[in-house]
């Protein structure tokens, strides 16, 4: 997990240079098989009939490829970032599964069928996955198991609950990967949100005015966006050398903050050396219309109300972090998210 140390604006170039040699990927994510592939029917068998019925089902369908799941387009395009340059990979995806190797073989067969360059996996036979995020140096863990995600977040690891979405196929010809983030409670911690929830809007606005130049503490996905920034720095260098180069990675921050609270967000990102391609200060307006235009392959937010509205047309992941996910502390009803 991030140690809370802020970067200076001069450090992104150093980050990019640091990935020019060596064999470790700039970014590693861990993901469950159910987030990548459509496994609802098999999961229903597990829940209603038990592990042995599930095992038999998976064996009988072992050579039948699984259909893409909600995070499949995100994973596919994330791995395509390795085509940015030759040499050591920029990105690695590790399968982190509660299956055992026997029941998990179908997932690996499906990986091969779909041509996904995923070669590493951990099959845990029902044990908790979060313990292996550090050994794999994972900057993000994605799963459709709420207990696993909540446990990871509680232990200080970056994790997101992938929500069901009807959009899983990825047939568009472009190679661009678009990722959208909420700010408070996702990239940054919930300090400002805590003020809002416990003291109300006027106190929040006053707090942000007084602390506009104070860099916020990192949130659960700060490490993830930081490593994405490393890849974006590489792409900016390629575009500087060749004006015809089209970057493959595009990021957006979509926050309900507005003026004057926008200033602290901007200055925090500047201090961290993170430059989003698009940033929206919506002042409480619905995020769904913006998401429908940006069309992210994954949108991260700590509030289910934003995600439930958007997930019918946009792949989403819930970050169950901070005061927004502790209803016993709720006071106000709106959000500076």
Q: Which residues are catalytic?
A: 182
Tell me which residue of 147, 34, 150 sits closest to 99, measured CA to CA.
34
Interacting residues of 325 by C-beta distance below 8 A, sequence separation 6+: 302
Rounded Cα distance, 236 and 231, in Å: 9
Give the Cβ contact number of residue 202 at 10 Å: 9
Are 291 and 254 a contacting pair, CB within 8 Å? yes
Please tell me the chain's helix, strand, coil percentages from 3-state DSSP, rounded to the nearest 5.
40, 15, 45
Beta strand ranges found along the chain (DSSP E)? 27-31, 91-97, 120-123, 140-143, 159-162, 177-181, 249-255, 278-281, 298-301, 316-318
The DSSP string of 16-47 is: HHHTSSSSS-SEEEEE-HHHHB--HHHHHHHH
Find where tokens 């929040």 sit. 204
The answer to whether 27 touches 231, Cβ cutoff 8 Å, is yes
Q: Nearest-5° angle of CA 319, CA 320, CA 321?
A: 95
User: Could you give the CA distance from residue 72 to residue 31 in angstroms, rounded to a whole number?
Assistant: 10
Sign of CA dihedral 139, 144, 146, 151: negative
Sequence-separated (6 or more) residues with CB below 8 Å from residue 264: 192, 208, 211, 212, 213, 214, 216
């Amino acid at each position: 997990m991030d140690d809370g140390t802020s970067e200076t604006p001069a450090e992104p170039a150093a980050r990019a240079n640091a990935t020019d040699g060596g064999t470790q990927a700039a970014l590693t994510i861990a993901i469950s098989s159910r987030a990548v592939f459509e496994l609802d029917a098999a999961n229903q068998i597990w829940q209603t009939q038990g592990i042995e019925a599930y095992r038999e089902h998976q064996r009988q369908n072992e050579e039948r490829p699984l259909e893409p799941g909600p995070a499949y387009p995100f994973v596919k395009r994330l791995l395509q970032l390795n085509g940015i340059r030759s040499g050591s990979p920029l990105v690695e995806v590790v399968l982190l599964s509660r299956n055992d190797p026997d029941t998990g073989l179908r997932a690996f067969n499906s990986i091969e069928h779909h041509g996904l360059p995923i070669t590493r996996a951990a099959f845990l036979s029902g044990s908790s996955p979060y313990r292996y995020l550090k050994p794999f140096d994972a900057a993000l863990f994605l799963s459709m198991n709420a207990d696993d995600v909540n446990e990871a977040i509680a232990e200080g690891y970056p994790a997101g609950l992938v929500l069901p979405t009807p959009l899983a196929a990825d047939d568009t010809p472009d190679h661009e990967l678009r990722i959208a983030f909420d700010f408070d409670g996702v990239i940054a911690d919930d300090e400002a949100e805590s003020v809002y929830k416990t003291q109300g809007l006027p106190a929040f606005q006053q707090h942000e005015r007084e602390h506009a130049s104070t860099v916020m503490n990192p949130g659960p996905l700060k490490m993830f966006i930081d490593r994405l920034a490393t890849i974006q720095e590489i792409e900016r260098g390629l575009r500087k050398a060749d004006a015809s180069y089209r970057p493959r990675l595009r990021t957006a921050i979509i926050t309900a903050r507005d003026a004057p609270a926008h200033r602290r967000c901007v200055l925090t990102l500047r201090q961290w050396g993170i430059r989003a391609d698009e940033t929206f200060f919506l002042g409480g307006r619905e995020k769904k219309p913006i998401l429908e235009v940006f069309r992210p392959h994954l949108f991260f937010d700590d509030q289910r109300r934003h995600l439930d509205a958007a997930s019918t047309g946009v792949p989403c992941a819930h970050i169950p972090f901070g005061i927004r996910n502790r209803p016993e502390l709720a006071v106000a009803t709106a959000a500076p998210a």
